[in-house]
Structure 1
């Protein structure tokens, strides 16, 4: 039986983090003798399909959850979420210092972090990246709305948010317009990821993310090749500030909309795993893998955050009146 452990050793903690899936299909680890660890395959390539190509590669514009799952390995921010969705420091050192009134957050930064091209990371990169993301007004730009001066900045009244400044090269201060206990959690989301000002200025703000050599981030992996609509290749960033990324030398991703074909290629050994980006299995395959004891241990459920909302019809029906609308809101609150 083909075994994923030959492609992805347990020591590759960062590489495992790459597979942030709602449902993953994988091969069980082998039973080995002697050292208790299976020998590594000569080709340390992790390969898997995605149902559709990336819609956006610019952190300021990303909105597709599958895109977030993939690109969080190329970019990073103050904090990140671990395998159990707990927020842990990334470019930040520990927890922020919070003022007595709960409005001012002071973040201390790592001093050894660099972008994938070697450019050093300082507090000014956060000021630039956050202003840029707010100005782009992507689907999630509103997350910056709690920062003092956001409204005036996006309306063009001022050139910079008053609540965002550097105290020194490795200290970032953020002032909010109101207490917001959720703000620190938000800093781990993709609009808050860093981009390299030098690269964008040189390559062009509208196109820098279209080429592998200028798609520069601060995550553990970098893009090495891409054929839009077909495939992407990634490699570990040498000397990444977060430590080693295990034994992987390459990650190959193919765009394949046919989920039945994905399963067939997984079972023939072409793909190391399927199900990336919260993509469900084809119904027939899901039934087979969940019901067959010999196949069931190839399934892994991994937590993923999601939000659902309910809307009321306020034009007609029971919620159209003031009293009906109020009763409905109370019933669901």
Structure 2
């Protein structure tokens, strides 16, 4: 399956400055000139940037949210990176890898001029150590499942084998080989993803449990070094890494970042020339319609509601369907959000991957399974009450505490309580770091969450609800769904058409189960300073790249 370039083109046409993403969370991109604007950077090559939420961690094996991954991608570099055309290309790897004809062996030579910011060379051993840590069950890495096709990975994750038996080997200091159990069409995309980045073993072990929890507990091998982050604060800096092997290509000296969750605050700072971007939502988007500094970035990201399947009431399919039918997607995206986000009919975003035989978009082929229908929702709720033996029901809805997500929570609450008499929806909007912890501990009834593509393949979304997935926070289980995912990963892994059909059928199982409630496909509207040039955006994985950006007066 290939990534659709329609999405990439829409991003390229709109780009003026940087982008920023929400959770939980992927191509092509470019930058354009704009009308005049006064630079807020008289002190030199400095960008003042606003982020929507805090950093959760800088440990490559523990990151689960896009915001943290976006900044980590500026600090640590992997074997490969995603280029402007959306393809994996060498980064710490010195050249393209050698892939065996059967697709089971990948070998890369590393560049010998890459060093960590403490002076240590970046070696193949750093990659072996990082990926062994990823699959080690003691780490508790949510992304460990991505390594499942590496030899012995599943046995290590289940505790049957030692991490040092993983099929990743260093052949000296500057060559690394990956041995797989089966062909994995998207494997090079994985090698460009943060979970597969290297870790300096001596430094990590010296830091112990503190590794990745502050700027003092992380070292860099990428274009920037992280500074002035205490692990919980709302500000941090990315400072040019003079030891980066391509430091001569990095123009920016500093990126000052501050978290601003209130739209009006960010806009006031932007208008006052104190920051280079501001996220717009709701009425603020309408106020700035036509402004020369407004840009819209469409993302390969689905926002949805996830159920806790331990809740005996939510096991009732009629209740789940009724909850979905009271969400007016058109009203949500146009009235509540108004930021360019669009309606979504299923689990996968539009313009993401296409049928290898027909070129049809996955989302288009899958169709829409829930349409706003209050009358039908109320009929189903009456039937569910009889089946459950209740007249009233209280459920918790857990979501992030930024302005946008609070508005969404309040909208969902209003739609449910106003249209399904007897149901009370208690809102719990908390900082993202706390929301991720509540999700991990399954401390919710309904979770307001989302997923941005990490790599350009439908399996990246479908894996989320596989029964054994660490991202299956609600505990959804369906043996038919699991069997289809297994087929797509094994028997049909090298047959594009059969694999596509497996994934489409698996999606139908999810929709027949009303296993989730789709909310919208995310887009982001920002005010951006056109004086900052050369930003690269990606719909998947690390979403923005400032490493070759510059400020022009």
Post-superposition offset of 1:307: 5.6
Q: Equivalent of 1:241, from 240, 245, 248?
A: 245
Change (3 A) 1:208 1:331: closer
Mapped pair 1:176 → 2:180: yes
Distance in 1 between residues matched to 2:246 and 2:217, nearest whole Å: 21
Q: Which runs of 5+ in 1 are unaligned?
A: 1-15, 33-37, 276-280
Post-superposition offset of 1:245: 4.9
Distance in 2 between residues matched to 1:158 and 1:331, nearest whole Å: 33
Mapped pair 1:218 → 2:221: yes
Q: Equivalent of 1:299, from 294, 298, 311?
A: 294
Name whichever of 230-239 and 242-251 sits farther off.
242-251
Distance in 2 between residues matched to 1:314 and 1:214, nearest whole Å: 43
Q: 3-state DSSP class of the match of 2:287?
A: helix
Map of 2:235 onto structure 1: 231
Distance in 1 between residues matched to 2:304 and 2:101, nearest whole Å: 34
Name whichever of 159-168 and 117-126 sits farther off.
159-168
Q: Which runs of 5+ in 2 are unaligned?
A: 1-14, 23-31, 307-313, 322-368, 370-477, 485-503, 510-553
**1:74, 1:220 within 8 Å by CA — same for their partners in 2?**
yes
Post-superposition offset of 1:54: 0.9
Q: 3-state DSSP class of the match of 1:172?
A: strand
Post-superposition offset of 1:267: 1.0
Distance in 1 between residues matched to 2:154 and 2:60, nearest whole Å: 21
Map of 1:167 onto structure 2: 171
**1:230, 1:254 within 8 Å by CA — same for their partners in 2?**
yes
Post-superposition offset of 1:145: 0.6
Distance in 2 between residues matched to 1:109 and 1:250, nearest whole Å: 28
Post-superposition offset of 1:130: 0.5
Map of 2:106 onto structure 1: 105
Name whichever of 96-105 and 210-219 sits farther off.
210-219
1:171-214 alpha-carbon deviations (Å, 9 max, x no partner): 1111101111111111111100112111112222x102233233
Name whichever of 208-217 and 105-114 sits farther off.
208-217
Map of 1:124 onto structure 2: 125
1:114-136 alpha-carbon deviations (Å, 9 max, x no partner): 11222101111110011112222
Q: 3-state DSSP class of the match of 1:253?
A: strand
Map of 1:75 onto structure 2: 76
Q: Equivalent of 1:190, from 182, 189, 194?
A: 194
**1:126, 1:194 within 8 Å by CA — same for their partners in 2?**
yes
Post-superposition offset of 1:332: 5.1
Mapped pair 1:284 → 2:288: no
**1:46, 1:251 within 8 Å by CA — same for their partners in 2?**
yes
**1:85, 1:304 within 8 Å by CA — same for their partners in 2?**
no
Distance in 2 between residues matched to 1:233 and 1:332, nearest whole Å: 45
Post-superposition offset of 1:111: 1.1
Mapped pair 1:274 → 2:450: no
Change (3 A) 1:69 1:18: farther
Report how many aligned residue pairs link the two structures: 295
Q: How does 1:5-154 map to 2 (within 5 A)?
A: 19-21=18-20, 28=34, 30=36, 41-135=42-136, 136-154=139-157
Post-superposition offset of 1:225: 0.7
Post-superposition offset of 1:308: 7.5
Distance in 2 between residues matched to 1:67 and 1:271, nearest whole Å: 20
Normalization by structure 1: what TM-score? 0.77
Q: Equivalent of 2:505, from 322, 329, 333?
A: 329
1:225-251 alpha-carbon deviations (Å, 9 max, x no partner): 124232112201003113335442221
**1:51, 1:259 within 8 Å by CA — same for their partners in 2?**
no
Alpha carbon RMSD of aligned pairs, Å? 3.5
Post-superposition offset of 1:304: 4.3
Distance in 2 between residues matched to 1:81 and 1:96, nearest whole Å: 15
Change (3 A) 1:288 1:18: closer
Distance in 1 between residues matched to 2:67 and 2:239, nearest whole Å: 19
Distance in 2 between residues matched to 1:18 and 1:238, nearest whole Å: 24
Distance in 2 between residues matched to 1:246 and 1:74, nearest whole Å: 13
Change (3 A) 1:172 1:303: farther
Name whichever of 223-232 and 146-155 sits farther off.
223-232
